[in-house]
Structure 1
């Protein structure tokens, strides 16, 4: 279990989180939602050890400590929102960097096969020998996701992993996120902006706003008209899909 206890995060005079608490279990996919500036990306960076904080963060009874940051990050696969690859590498080479600790002058067949399977699973095997600098933003996003999975993480932190993807690839990637999380008993925490998409692909929703966690739970419990309207300052209509999950429809203000 990943535990955040009384976490406070500040940047200058700006309070991002004030004694926030979270309990995150293995084998579950959690999606963080909230308006711009609510601190979603900052929270992921805090868990990864990039942002100073007050309080306690523990994983399997190991505390997050700057003194032992490399040890803390070892089981974490982190995909930030803006991932830039500036070197002229092939897609396969970029994916292999996910296992930098296992790379030598000669890359073994087993690792190559594993990387090729990741690319095939995400539908981008045909890009394996393409220069990553020549790919579209969406294609690079899939490449970086493959790199993160090759690390075989126990904790998966994904900051807007589908922001540059079309509808087909959004669904494909999120299906793999959920399947990987359950099959490998991983703790997955991701950030999405599409509330309806989050409802489909999350075991639990975490709503951030007003310097704290406003709600955590199943989509149908958390994504209510009152909570969403208060956080996002919009009028909404909540529909139900064929599975009974909420579909959030923002309402246009007619004048």
Structure 2
């Protein structure tokens, strides 16, 4: 389990998260929601060890402030919003960078096969020998996700992993996230802006607002019109899809055109 206890995060004079208490369990996908500037990305960065904090963060027998950062990060696969590569490398080479610890002057056949297998599962095997600088934003995002998976993480931190993807690739990537989480018994914590998409692909939702957890639980418990109206300052109606999951539909202020 990953446990955040009485966690407070400040950036300068701004408190972005205050007294957060959350327990993340293995084999589940958690999605953090909330308006812009509510500390979603800061929470992931704090778990990864990039931001100072008060309180405690524990994973099994390790505690962040008592562990060396390299040791703490070893089981974590982190994909930030601005992940990317500036160097002229092939997509396969970028994926292989996920295992820097195992790279030598000669990449082993086993590691090459593992990287190629992950790319194939994500539907990007055909990009293996393409220069990553010549790929679309969505293709690069899929390559970076493959790099994260090659690290064989126990914890996945994904900050807006589908922001540059079309609907087909959004669904494909999120299906893979769920599959890997269940089959590899990972803890997956991701940030999404699409509330309806989060309802489909999450075991638990965590709604942040004003530096605090405003709701936590399954989608029906968290996606309440009154709470969303207040935090996002928009009017929404909550519909239900054919799978029985909530669909959040924003409403225009006026129907006049």
| TM-score, structure 2 normalization | 0.98
CA RMSD after TM alignment? 0.9
User: 1:22 is matched with which residue?
Assistant: 22
SS at match of 1:65: helix
CA distance in 1, matches of 2:222, 2:18: 20
Counterpart for residue 233 of structure 1? 233
Q: Check the 8 A contact 1:31/1:189 in 2, yes or no.
A: yes
Q: What aligned pairs does 1:120-131 form with structure 2 within 5 A after superposition?
A: 120-131=120-131
- Number of residue pairs matched by the alignment: 255
Given that 1:16 and 1:39 are in contact with CA atoms closer than 8 Å, whether structure 2 keeps it comes out as yes
Q: Per-residue displacement from partner, 1:8-42 (whole Å, max 9, x unpaired)?
A: 11112211111111100000000000000001000
Partner of 2:206: 206
Query: Are 1:65 and 1:72, in contact at CA under 8 Å, matched by a contact in 2?
Result: no
What secondary structure sits across from 2:162 in the alignment?
A: coil
Native 8 Å contact 2:84 2:144 kept in 1: no
- For structure 2, which runs of at least 5 residues remain unmatched after alignment? none
Moved over 6 A (4+): none
Are the counterparts in 2 of residues 32 and 189 from structure 1 also a CA contact under 8 Å? yes
Which residue in the other structure is 2:31 paired with?
A: 31
1-side partners of 2:230 and 2:184: how far apart? 37
Once the two structures are TM-superposed, the CA of residue 65 in structure 1 deviates from its matched residue by 2.1
1:172 is aligned to 172
d(CA) in 1 for partners of 2:121, 2:185: 19
1:1-255 alignment, distance < 5 Å? 1-65=1-65, 68-254=68-254
SS at match of 2:68: helix
User: Structure 1 unaligned runs (5+)?
Assistant: none
- Scaled by the length of structure 1, the TM-score of the pair is 0.98
Q: What is the alpha-carbon distance in structure 1 between the residues aligned to residue 61 and residue 212 of structure 2?
A: 24
Paired with 1:92 and 1:65, the residues of 2 have a C-alpha distance of 35
User: Matched residue of 1:237: which SS?
Assistant: strand
SS in 2 for 1:57: strand
